[in-house]
Amino acid sequence: MKLVILDRDGVINYDSPDYIKSVDEWKAIPGSLEAIARLNQAGYRVVVASNQSGVARGLFTLDDLNQIHNKMHRQLAEVGGTIEAIFFCPHSGDSCNCRKPHPGLFHDIAERLGVSLARTPAIGDSLRDLQAAIASRARPMLVLTGKGRQTVQDLEGFGDVPIYEDLSHAVNAILSETSL
């Protein structure tokens, strides 16, 4: 099975230091939804793994989060794409295993989908995303959208993490590998 794991904020949609708290604040990064649709068309299953500590902080509710995700699903369907599942950590602080950089969300994905994550592309914009991918044996990929440009400065000691301008460019690389 071909699978790709995506972070949400900063990869699929614009991020905000004040959190994405409402449907109105959620805005797709140009080309990101089409990139997901291209993955789907090439036979990839796509899932999201996202920290959403704004829930624990009381900045938005689970209902708000579901409305945001419904908007994302609707807009994605309009371009012919789908996200199979959204795995998120609603906690704040680093004490739980599901909050990235811990690999709990990735382990949940592997268990629920019945797959090994070895070499599965995991695309994120932050150091936490890359650390969770590495800890779960997935293949980390960094995009420069969201916190990505800042994250590049912190990559010392991470080996050869490939860096892409945005999700569309990362998807181009994944699809070019499968066509070889």
Q: Which residue has the tokens 């938005």?
A: 60
Tokens (6 digits) for 113:
């989908």
The pLDDT tens digits of the residues spanning 127-153 come to 999 999 999 999 999 999 999 999 999
Q: Which residue(s) pair with 165 in the sheet? A: none
Q: Among residues 7, 15, 129, 166, which one is catalytic?
A: 7
Rg of the chain taking only CA atoms, in angstroms: 15
Indicate the pTM of the whole model: 0.96
pLDDT at residue 61, as a whole number: 96
Tell me if residue 63 is catalytic: no
The pLDDT tens digits of the residues spanning 116-128 come to 999 999 999 999 9
| pLDDT tens for the 180 residues of the chain, in order | 899 999 999 999 999 999 999 999 999 999 999 999 999 999 999 999 999 999 999 999 999 999 999 999 999 999 999 999 999 999 998 789 999 999 999 999 999 999 999 999 999 999 999 999 999 999 999 999 999 999 999 888 777 899 999 999 999 999 998 765
pLDDT at residue 94, as a whole number: 75
Tokens (6 digits) for 43:
């036979």
pLDDT at residue 9, as a whole number: 98
Q: Whose CA is closest to 170, among 17, 44, 26?
A: 44
- For residues 128 and 77, what is the distance between their CA atoms, to the nearest angstrom? 29
The pLDDT tens digits of the residues spanning 80-89 come to 999 999 999 9
Q: Cβ(25)–Cβ(158) under 8 Å?
A: no
Within the chain, strands assigned E span 3-6, 45-51, 85-89, 121-124, 139-143, 163-164
Q: Does domain 3-178 have CATH number 2.60.40.1190?
A: no
Q: Among residues 9, 15, 125, 129, which one is catalytic?
A: 9
How do the domains of the chain map onto residue ranges? 3-178
- For residues 114 and 129, what is the distance between their CA atoms, to the nearest angstrom? 21
Tell me if residue 64 is catalytic: no
Q: Which residue has the tokens 């000691």?
A: 157
